[in-house]
Chains A and B, each alone.
Chain A
């Protein structure tokens, strides 16, 4: 009896050791294969391609790119960094939303609560604000690089336009967030900003031809933006909804188009071989 138990346990032990040896390479496990579908064998070019193509997060990339395109001085990495900052902002923004009520009674107090009581609340708010500022800067620098390398030229004209829309959305995202702490800084910045809207030609009650078309402080475009004739509770709520839902949603759609078009337009523009002046045709080809 004792012998049998001993035999069985030693057989079981051998089997366990055998199996464990099989797990020494995690890439050979069923679990790994089910998640990643390919083993990341560095020496196999096919696997390197599959690592990109079969990954939902990386499939926006082509499997191969221009060998000089990974050099930092060409792209400055600003487009990618801008997208990463958008992700950081979404992440910190969602966390902030747990602690924030967009009402006149609560908004300012919630910020104080975040700063003084919520664990890492101050860090969270700081990071959200500085990432937003940084995103404006990186968007501009990204545009600047695209201009300097002439990357907006055929066939990428339309993607440049999408980019301009994204720039405006970035600025609007920042601006709508400015009011949310409901402090003097945001309140007066938004007052100044929306006061310009009352001067919109034809649609604002202070703008050219506005009064003639029946615009008053209670029905013009500024009223629509603020949900009232002054910056108050409704303006706070509208800001909040545009900031957290409306604009991010629209921006995400434009971003999807922006990234998709990069691929469809042939990847990033360079560094391309230089073309000589003497090779330029005298007249532009038709279509």
Chain B
């Protein structure tokens, strides 16, 4: 399996997918209309900027990781090496004057940004629609692009979660991150190896956010209906929503009938059932993150004995875990399960399995 995953196969797969997609595009005009809408230009720019800066960061991380490997193997060199990939010669000053070496860079940056802004402002006009009219609803009526992630979340959660609770949790979770990250390495330099787990978590969150925005911008059309990029936005399209709640789905299924689970469709059965599902999700999610935190991905094998082959421990991550306090651990688990896991899980439940709610109560639904 591993033999077939290299940069050629990955690029090849991307090219093949792009070609298949391009053949299937039925309405290039629609695609152009969406991507050239002035307010969408920043997202199109981000589609290039984010991969570029990710590459720029990873490139430096790989160089640093190589240096770390060398020094780890050669303790003698570790004592004398200046420990950076940037060039260094004895006799060079370790510090340089801000005037002019930093100030000139800053000045150059302001000049470039100003030029970019002028060109952008001369070539592209800020959008202005008809005067506000409460009697004429825009369809689709979309939030500004940086909030489209939240708006897209409305599909998967009730407004009180998507619009209020989730953003608050994300904010507090971001603030909590430095306090739960007990790994002292990688402070002030790019590295992948020394901060594998933290970077995966951040990366997953950032990617999720971008994906939701891209869905909200390029895919959601009139009536917030799913149109693939290149499909015509049909204002008369009607989607027959057959979303059901999880407890109803089970109660009315063949298995549910055979097992006499009809009581799940009524309170208190459905209340208790939903509570158990959500509680179970947090438990399983916690176990999942615990596994992810400590596992040595390279040593996972699908063979007996399962205990050693499915849960091989990573020595370094074990050390980090030993430094983590119980409070740090539980705080991280809470934010990880309730945002990083809950969102994609609900997204899949809703889009693939057409499940609306998993926990229905008289006061709130999840």
Write the chain A residue with the least CB distance to B181: A153
Interface assignment of A156: CB less than 8 Å from any CB of chain B: yes
A177 to B177, CA, bound (A): 30
- Contact status B94-A201, CB under 8 Å: no
- Contact status B146-A274, CB under 8 Å: no
- Contact status A131-B144, CB under 8 Å: no
- Contact status B159-A195, CB under 8 Å: yes
Other-chain contact of B49, A65, A70, A77, A141 (Cβ < 8 Å): A141
- Contact status A115-B64, CB under 8 Å: no
The stretch from A20-28, A78-86, A242-250 touching chain B is A78-86
**Chain B residues positioned under 8 Å from A126 (CB to CB):** 120-122, 124-126
Interface assignment of B9: CB less than 8 Å from any CB of chain A: no
- Contact status B121-A127, CB under 8 Å: yes
Interface magnitude class on chain A: 35 or more
Interface assignment of A175: CB less than 8 Å from any CB of chain B: yes
A178 to B129, CA, bound (A): 12
A279 to B96, CA, bound (A): 29
**Chain B residues positioned under 8 Å from A156 (CB to CB):** 178
Write out, one digit per residue, whether chain A residues 64-84 have a CB within 8 A of any chain B CB (1) or not (0): 111111111110110011001
Write out, one digit per residue, whether chain B residues 94-136 have a CB within 8 A of any chain A CB (1) or not (0): 1111111111011001100110111011101111111111101
- Contact status A72-B160, CB under 8 Å: no
- Contact status B97-A199, CB under 8 Å: no
What total of chain B residues lie within 8 Å of the partner, measured CB to CB?
Answer: 108
- Contact status A193-B120, CB under 8 Å: no
Count chain A CB atoms within 10 A of each CB in B98, B128, B132 and give the residue with the most: B132
- Contact status B57-A148, CB under 8 Å: yes
Interface assignment of B306: CB less than 8 Å from any CB of chain A: no
Write the chain B residue with the least CB distance to A195: B159
Interface assignment of A111: CB less than 8 Å from any CB of chain B: yes
- Contact status A204-B98, CB under 8 Å: no
- Contact status A134-B117, CB under 8 Å: yes
A49 to B95, CA, bound (A): 12
Q: How far is the CB of A262 from chain B (nearest CB, A)?
A: 13
**Chain A residues positioned under 8 Å from B322 (CB to CB):** 282-283
Write the chain A residue with the least CB distance to B163: A196
Q: A148-B199, A280-B319 are contacts. A85–B113 as well, Cβ < 8 Å?
A: yes
- Contact status B82-A70, CB under 8 Å: no
A77 to B100, CA, bound (A): 16
Interface assignment of B11: CB less than 8 Å from any CB of chain A: no
- Contact status A197-B164, CB under 8 Å: yes
Write the chain A residue with the least CB distance to B209: A140
Write the chain B residue with the least CB distance to A128: B126
**Chain A residues positioned under 8 Å from B23 (CB to CB):** none
Q: A45-B97, A274-B67, A284-B182 are contacts. A108–B132 as well, Cβ < 8 Å?
A: yes
Interface assignment of B232: CB less than 8 Å from any CB of chain A: no
Shortest beta-carbon contacts, A-B, top 10: A196-B163, A272-B188, A270-B188, A273-B83, A199-B159, A187-B132, A269-B188, A157-B178, A126-B121, A188-B141
List 17 interface pairs A-B (beta carbons < 8 Å), by A numbering. A45-B97, A63-B98, A64-B97, A76-B56, A84-B109, A125-B126, A148-B199, A150-B188, A150-B198, A174-B144, A185-B129, A195-B159, A196-B154, A271-B189, A272-B187, A274-B83, A282-B322
